[in-house]
Chains A and B, each alone.
Chain A
Amino acid sequence: MPFRGFELHIPAPERRPGERPSFDHLKIPPAGATPRPSPSTPAHELRELPYGLARVLDDAGNAVGPWKPDIDPETLRRGLKAMLLTRIFDERLFRAHRQGKTSFYMKSTGEEAVSTAQSLLLGASDMCFPTYRVLGWLMARDYPLTDLVNQIYSNARDPLRGRQLPILYSARDYGFYSISGNLGTRFAHAVGWAMASAYRGDSNIALGYIGEGSTAEGDFHETLTFASVYHAPCILCITNNQWAISSYSGIAGADETTFAAKAIGYGLPGLRVDGNDFLAVWAATQWSIERAQAGLGATLIEFFTYRMEGHSTSDDPTRYRPSDEPVEWPLGDPIERLRQHLTLIAEWDDARHAALVADLSEQVSAAVKDAEAVGTLGKSKPPVTEMFEGVFSRPDWRLIEQRREAGAE
């Protein structure tokens, strides 16, 4: 081949603000088209899998193809409820931020199927290592709404005692590990936790989440090496919501390969799954659980989804992407798709949906009201002594002296 001269390649998304959204480059296969090999298949025979897209629900709402899970309507309704509750809660608390009641908020909008389906499927003694967009995990497990709002307001009843930014929850009893604002690090904790389960001969599975943007972090790659080397019983999930603040997924390498395909280099199975399809999320997670339980170790899953809102309350996505991109997303809204399916199989109807929305809205309003009775950010806080607790198992002389100096005794 002739020498053509070098040119530095800078990736750019298909469309910018003011342009019509386009998703032609995505090559989304129809529901049912991607095969489902047995979970016992060796990883080296699964190398085509991460280039497909496991889908169950078709455009009409039918459940089709090899990934169609065996799941009863009652569980589907629980999933729909948890997704709706997440959406309604996000809307209400985002508004609370705009009303000056807290400093920060992040929504899960458009990504609710992933965390809710996995929360319902995993066991009580399993552990998820969350990102900041998996509120659905807690909603599916009936975490007290008032405690969420207390945390968001950092008030006197905040279960995290006023020490942590809003929505960076921790809920051990609900299988929900502590979140922090730095990215990628907890992926390694998930694998360590899974290694500990295997070390003890237990049957507990760890489920780690990471965003597609953070797959560029070294911790992602080091973690996959560990997961592979030690056959750790874990499910490592990439939620590819297409956007990392203003950076489209191509900045993290999406134009060159799929995120699921990163698994191949580590000798792990990689699944690429429609993350807006509750049934497909369920089926892929079930596949990975069976694989771990059979002693075959970790699975990497890319959930292909879409961040319908801004990164956080500090972000305006219309500055960098077409404003109607969220409604044009070809894989739709996960809530509407599950609702459509339940309606199609005669297990749901508009009246029940409207009643559920009204009921959940009422629950959220009541929780907000209860938390506001305690106080919003700055109006109420835990005692200042809490600032000095929990740094170490017991405060050393520095903290005791400084607590006195701060007048917090």
Chain B
Amino acid sequence: MPEKGTAANSSMSMIQALNSALDTMLGQDPDTLIFGQDIGYFGGVFRVTEGLQAKHGAKRCFDAPIAESAIIGAAIGMAAYGLRPVVEIQFADYILPAFDQLVSEAARLRYRSGGQFWAPITVRTPYGGGIFGGQTHSQSPEALFAHVTGLKTVIPSNPYDAKGLLIASIEDEDPVIFLEPKRIYNGPFDGRPDVALKSWAGHPLAEVPAGHYTVPLGQAAIRREGNDVTVLAYGTMVHVAAAGIEQSGIDAELIDLRSIVPLDIETIVESVKKTGRCVILHEATRFSGFGAELSALVQERCFYHLEAPIERVCGWDTPYPHAFEWDYFPGPGRLAAALARVMEPA
């Protein structure tokens, strides 16, 4: 198997890495098939499935009607038969018509049937803001899924992880919601819209091996080691956090959660016990967001190590606004301010 840095690696965008993951699985597992709106001949509105129908055939990669509930419902039936369906919901904002299928069916099937049936489906869906997509192309619904026991929720932050996590999700025996941060599909974005766009080329985590490899679900990655405060982030916000930490000049430790269910609680607790401070960063609205769970967990497990209140830097509790994209989007400046606050002497 190729390792990082060998000749078989190539620099990929997150879109190319996701495409490579699907291509790898279609190539090696005849039970894997993919379907969704516009993903067949056309290759998907974000081009993630480009070329896959031509290479693997229409039965392995095909277009679906605009019927999110039946897309996920049919996938559950296929999975019960023994297949490994991977479906795309065009935007995470449009997954809501399928909520009953996810909550009452995919997440419950193994439990309620005494283990007779289960639904190892993977639901890929682009999510998150920073693209001037307005209310229905920008939202971050991860907390809705994390709250549903029986579902796993995975969020990559770079091309290497995107491929390894997607393969791990497809091979997982449980239903996985795979949220793709669309703002960083083509390049890392640190939350500063006035800075020139960057591509993934040259980024160390854009070096993607050919062929099969996995990044296990439930293992966070420490993106920056530090001693004074722990920053918890995932998806696009990992890059925003790095910029915010740099701007603050504070020696923060940055943890990329990679999956929120399963959650790598050990890495979080170990870090916060070391630093004594914690700031949580996510795009989703703050109230009952996943940050609330993270905050509660850190408080429960690290209370006597904490030297400052836990801070959450999140989207405001409004619908996702169009004109106010950058007023809403939690950028590096807001994180830097939060870091400064938690470092203030008591």
Contact = CB atoms under 8 A, between A and B. Distances in A.
Question: Do A and B associate with each other?
Answer: yes
Q: Which of B70, B108, B149 has the most CB of A within 10 A?
A: B70
B10 to A, nearest CB: 32
B97 A193 contact: no
Interface stretch (B43-51, B113-121, B157-165, B244-252): B113-121
A225 interface: yes
A180 B104 contact: yes
B78 A192 contact: yes
Contacts of B265: 397
Contacts of B115: 390
A194 B174 CA distance: 21
Interface residues of A, number: 43
B339 to A, nearest CB: 29
- Interface residue range, chain B: 35 or more
Contact of B80 (A161, A177, A223): A177
Q: Which of B85, B101, B104, B112 has the most CB of A within 10 A?
A: B112
B82 A196 contact: yes
A193 B77 contact: yes
Given A189-B77, A196-B78, A197-B81, A225 B114 contact: no
B104 A172 contact: no
> Looking at chain A's contact residues, is the secondary structure mostly helix, strand, loop, or mixed?
helix
A38 interface: no
Contact of A188 (B73, B150, B262): B73
A90 B112 CA distance: 22
A214 interface: no
Given A172-B117, A182-B100, A196 B81 contact: yes
B297 to A, nearest CB: 10
A195 B77 contact: yes
B109 A178 contact: yes
Contacts of A182: 100, 104-105
Contact of A226 (B74, B113, B263): B74
Contacts of B33: 199
Interface string A257-297: 00000000000000000000000000000000000000000
Contact of A185 (B64, B80, B105, B112): B105
Nearest to B264: A397
A189 B74 contact: yes
A197 B81 CA distance: 8
Given A189-B105, A193-B81, A196-B81, A164 B112 contact: yes
B3 interface: no
A185 B101 contact: yes
Nearest to A129: B77
B67 A225 contact: yes
A138 to B, nearest CB: 13
Contacts of A196: 77-78, 81-83
Contacts of A185: 69, 73, 100-101, 104-105
Interface string B51-85: 00000000100001101011011111111111101
A409 interface: no
Contacts of B97: 218
List of 3 A-B pairs having minimum Cβ-Cβ separation, nearest first: A192-B77, A188-B73, A192-B74
Interface of B: 33, 59, 64-65, 67, 69-70, 72-83, 85, 97, 100-101, 104-105, 108-118, 149-150, 152, 172-174, 218, 261-263, 265
Given A226-B67, A391-B110, A391-B111, 11 more contacts: A170-B117, A172-B113, A191-B73, A192-B80, A196-B77, A199-B78, A199-B83, A206-B77, A226-B74, A229-B65, A390-B110
